[in-house]
Chain A
Amino acid sequence: AQSVAQPEDQVNVAEGNPLTVKCTYSVSGNPYLFWYVQYPNRGLQFLLKYITGDNLVKGSYGFEAEFNKSQTSFHLKKPSALVSDSALYFCAVRDFFPFSGGYNKLIFGAGTRLAVHP
């Protein structure tokens, strides 16, 4: 079964410093990986995805993620954190059944709370 793990419940970083939010995956076949951000009392906002191609994926709000097949990781990064980046971040993998004509069920990690301090 597909799964993702986010080993850190919370990440603390000072504003202006680089940030990394970790994610590892376990899939059969090629992984379709996603990062979403959730602000308090809100739905999920899409940040970026890896389907195929370049291992470094650039997304919204200056975030990027690096797909590492050998380490089965897809860590989210940003060179310079902002206080407004403080939120809950979810890594997810698509559970895809091609015979169902496209079946975009997502399996989520537990989430990592990012706190950026001024």
Chain B
Amino acid sequence: GAVVSQHPSRVICKSGTSVKIECRSLDFQATTMFWYRQFPKKSLMLMATSNEGSKATYEQGVEKDKFLINHASLTLSTLTVTSAHPEDSSFYICSASRESGNTIYFGEGSWLTVV
């Protein structure tokens, strides 16, 4: 079964509003989670590394004020897209791994549509 859960799987929001996407590790603790963005028929682009109890580390070119990441517990990271615009519409995927493991598990992804 799934070990990383994302919610919601699909969300539609109005331009200018904010939307939150959750990523949960279901049966293990993850001090680090990752957020990716995927455009249609394209590869995954790493947006940021979510660190439990500290600030997220953003990749070059990703606006940290627009894509807010909070990793408040060892099993939950949230991505908030603030003041969303249509160009933010995309598929967002998170990943996590067990501390002692080498396998990285992905969530099912969240489709964001900004209208």
Contacts and interface: CB of A to CB of B under 8 A. Distances in A.
Contact of B32 (A41, A49, A104, A109): A104
A34 B104 CA distance: 9
A32 B102 CA distance: 9
Given A41-B111, A104-B32, 5 more contacts: A43-B107, A43-B109, A44-B93, A103-B32, A109-B43
B105 interface: yes
Interface in A11-70: 32, 34, 36, 41-46, 49, 51
Which of B93, B100, B102, B108 is the most central at the interface, judged by chain A CB atoms within 10 Å of its CB?
B102
Contact of B103 (A42, A43, A49, A108): A49
Contacts of B106: 36, 43-46
Contacts of B43: 90, 108-111
A106 B96 CA distance: 11
A59 B86 CA distance: 39
A32 B97 CA distance: 14
Nearest to B45: A108
A101 interface: yes
Contacts of A41: 91, 109, 111
10 tightest Cβ-Cβ pairs between the two chains A and B: A44-B106, A43-B108, A43-B109, A104-B97, A43-B106, A110-B43, A108-B44, A104-B104, A108-B43, A111-B43
B53 to A, nearest CB: 13
Contacts of B42: 110-111
A4 to B, nearest CB: 10
